Amino acid sequence: MLNTIAIMGRLTHTPELRTTTSGKEVCSFDIACERSYSANGQRETDFLPCVAWGKTAQFIAQYFSKGSMIAVNGSLQTRKYQDKQGNNRTAYEIQVREVSFCGSKAPDSTSTRGFDEQTESYAREARNAQSAQQTAETGTDDFAVINDDEDLPF
């Protein structure tokens, strides 16, 4: 059987890191994930609960905050419980196995950790350095045309 899920979206709140009574670290968070356009042209959004354990939980709690774009791979899990009135309930959660950065925070949110801005700054510097090196090696920004039609083996 196959139980794999991959989603990308923005965190709806700052991830909550807790430690269980047995000493395991667990991180809970929700991802807002947009659906395809509906008939009236408006996008609908699903709010998907996620749970990560161990080092993955620590990583998410340290580097992600409300509004951060995130991609997760994992599996869908059901959890059955009784509410305060004694009714049986079922909860669906994504058990996170892998997590990835997907960009900066939403434009209207503020970063408290500065990680996204620092990462973008490093990436921009690397792109500029690589572009300058390529220009210096070729002496031009244009592509060179290579005429190798005569060497075709067929």
**Bridge partners, residue 52, by sequence:** 27
The pLDDT score that the predictor gives to residue 35 is: 84
> Predicted confidence band at 26 (pLDDT cuts at 50, 70, 90)?
very high
The pLDDT score that the predictor gives to residue 145 is: 65
pTM of full prediction above 0.75: no
Multiple choice CATH, 5-110, 2.40.50.140, 3.40.50.620, 2.60.40.1660, 3.30.70.1450: 2.40.50.140
Residues 6 or more apart whose CB falls under 8 angstroms from that of 99 comprise 52, 56, 59, 60, 70, 71, 72, 73
Residue 67 burial by Cβ neighbours in a 10 Å radius (0-12, 13-18, 19+): buried
